[in-house]
Amino acid sequence: MQYDPIVYLLETPKYHLVKLDKVNVFSGWVFNFGIQKVTSLNVYADEKLIDNFMVNLPREDIAIYIPSIPAVKTCGFSFELEVAKTINSLTFEIVFDDQSTELFFRFDITNIVNQQEYFNKLNQRLALIPQPEPELIYLTQGHYNVAEYRNSIISGVMNLHKYLQHSGVDLNQIKTLLDFGCGSGRLLVGWHLLSPHIELNGCDFNPNLLDWVQQNLTKQVTCIENSFAPPLPYIDDKFDLIYLVSVFTHLSLDVQKLWIQELKRVIKPGGYILITLHGEIYVRNGFWQEPDKIQQFLMEGFAESGSDNGSNYYASHHTPDFIKQIMQGFNLVGYFPNGTIDKQRTSFQTAQSQDIYIFKHEV
Ligand SMILES: C[S@@+](CC[C@H](N)C(=O)[O-])C[C@H]1O[C@@H](n2cnc3c(N)ncnc32)[C@H](O)[C@@H]1O
């Protein structure tokens, strides 16, 4: 199997929002895209098993996207747990219906203790920045959950930092970046808080999203509305980093190829492009009633479906070989299948279970 079959979201608490020496509500959902069913979660404080919590709450909101797996209907969990400052780590383990177990993910509590003051400051600064309305959030995230949107801003960019660092990118060398398909500026706000020295640019073709950004985030970022297809109004070789989070996942192949050429023009020689893509697990879910389509994807490396190119109703899927082939002029320097780093799941994600790729523009 080329993909991680465990699909999940820890909604609360995101890493930077863990309250030390206090009771935290751990809530979210998890299911296995395989035969065994996830039934509960074991929790360990350091190496000691401290509790077991059921995974059985109804999550119709998730089930509508995963029609192929009946267990998703009850994949929710929510439990209270005190997080003591004195422990080093909190480890979550998945328990399947055959009683087998596997590591889910780990929280480094020592790191949270050390960064507590910094995280508090970030959270206070974030609270002063305007948030979009639920209807606008739905356009980019596919849900109306304002708290999930807000809490994903810092955690999402902390994850982007990790992917870049694991790919050998020196974050100090990034002076200017472009968030292509920035939506309502979710991740740009995270960069503004975490890396204030970077010149932050964003672009998107949806005027509703761009109008909101231009009215509400003028102090933080510079965003422009682009046309559906190139060009962009930037000079050659402008950016050290361009990232596209959940953008090529909703664009047809012909348009992606045009944008790759244009991004090559505006990225500096030696600069990096980070792209998130739907991989095999999304194909197996999206085409679960069309096995021929799945086979075709595995052989040809690409599949697309849906309508309204550029919106969440359009879905593109890539294999690693395929994206490498169309990213001509770039070298792959980082690949994080389903968002995992060194085969370990992160406690929060940037783009759900999408694959994350980092390419370097070689001269
Ligand atoms: C799923 S949303 C992700 C938004 C944002 N990257 C985030 O993670 O919050 C995809 C975004 O890509 C934008 N998009 C799609 N096609 C585009 C294009 N041709 N040019 C610019 N933006 C595009 C959409 O308008 C939408 O804002």
Q: Where does 129-361 sit in CATH, by number?
A: 3.40.50.150
Query: Where in the chain is CATH 2.60.40.1930?
Result: 6-115
pTM above the 0.95 mark?
yes
Q: Is the pLDDT of residue 1 over 70?
A: no
- Domain 6-115: which CATH class? mainly beta
Distance 276 CA to ligand 1 centre (A): 12
Residue of the nearest CA to atom 4 in ligand 1? 183
Percent of the chain past pLDDT 70, that is, above it, reads: 100
Read off the pLDDT of each residue in 5-17 and give the average, rounded to a whole number.
95
Count CB neighbours of 192 within 10 A.
21
Distance 311 CA to ligand 1 centre (A): 8
Count CB neighbours of 96 within 10 A.
16
> What distance in Å separates the CA atoms of residue 338 and residue 55, rounded to the nearest whole number?
22
Read off the pLDDT of each residue in 78-105 and give the average, rounded to a whole number.
97
DSSP 148-160: HHHHHHHHHHHHH
Under the phi-then-psi rule, with left for phi > 0, alpha for psi from -120 to 50, and beta for the rest, what region is 28? left
Q: Is 181 in the pocket of ligand 1 (CB under 6 A)?
A: yes
Query: Where in the chain is CATH 3.40.50.150?
Result: 129-361
Distance 249 CA to ligand 1 centre (A): 9
For the chain, helix, strand, coil in percent to 5 are 35, 35, 35
Name the band, by pLDDT with cuts 50, 70 and 90, for residue 303.
very high
Mean pLDDT of the chain: 96
- Distances from the Cα of 188 to the Cαs of 19, 146, 210, 260, 315, in angstroms? 25, 17, 13, 21, 24
Nearest atom of ligand 1 to the alpha carbon of 244: 6
β-bridge mates for residue 103, sequence order: 93
Nearest atom of ligand 1 to the alpha carbon of 156: 8
Q: Is the pLDDT of residue 228 over 80?
A: yes
pLDDT at 2: 81
Name the band, by pLDDT with cuts 50, 70 and 90, for residue 363.
confident
Q: Is the pLDDT of residue 198 over 80?
A: yes
The crossing angle, in degrees rounded to 10, of helices 207-216 and 134-141 is 120
